[in-house]
Amino acid sequence: MDIKGRVIQLLALQTGEGKNGAWKKQDFVIETEGQYPKKVCISAWGDKINESALQIGNDVNVSFDIESREYNGRWYTDVKAWKIESLSASSVEAMPTASTSSRPTTELPTTFKSDDEDSLPF
């Protein structure tokens, strides 16, 4: 699936260490155009993070997959980008360039307590 919109927010870059090695995740919010604009939070993982396209104010086309899973009777949905394309080269030139070091980084825990029923395993 594809969605077009303008990047309106970049959330903190998340990194961690798992059993398969280091990982990083960038969540971002786009707003679609039209009579009833929608805001959609999308996750990009690892090498799928296109930092040149992910600039606030940049128009992008995002190819993504949607996946839902059940945990303790509740359903959780992820929107995962597998391709991010910039639609407006002028937006990239107009926006100040941000290096990856200027983005806040959040370290997430890699282990969870199994005795806590309310904690999510993912």
pLDDT (tens digit, 9 = 90+) per residue, 61-93? Answer: 999 999 999 999 999 999 999 999 998 764 444
Overall domain count for the chain: 1
> What is the DSSP track for 35-84?
SS--EEEEEEEGGG--TTT--TT-EEEEEEEEEEEEETTEEEEEEEEEEE
Given a cut of 80, whether residue 113 has pLDDT beyond it is no
Q: The CATH number of the domain where 91 resides is what?
A: 2.40.50.140
pTM for this prediction: 0.69
Structural domain boundaries, residue 59: 2-107
Highest mean pLDDT among 13-27, 79-93, 94-108: 13-27
Name the amino acid, one letter, at 2: D
Residue 121 lies in a domain: no
Q: What is the pLDDT at residue 91?
A: 43
pLDDT tens digits along 37-63: 999 999 999 988 988 889 999 999 999
On whether the CB atoms of residues 55 and 91 are closer than 8 A, the answer is yes
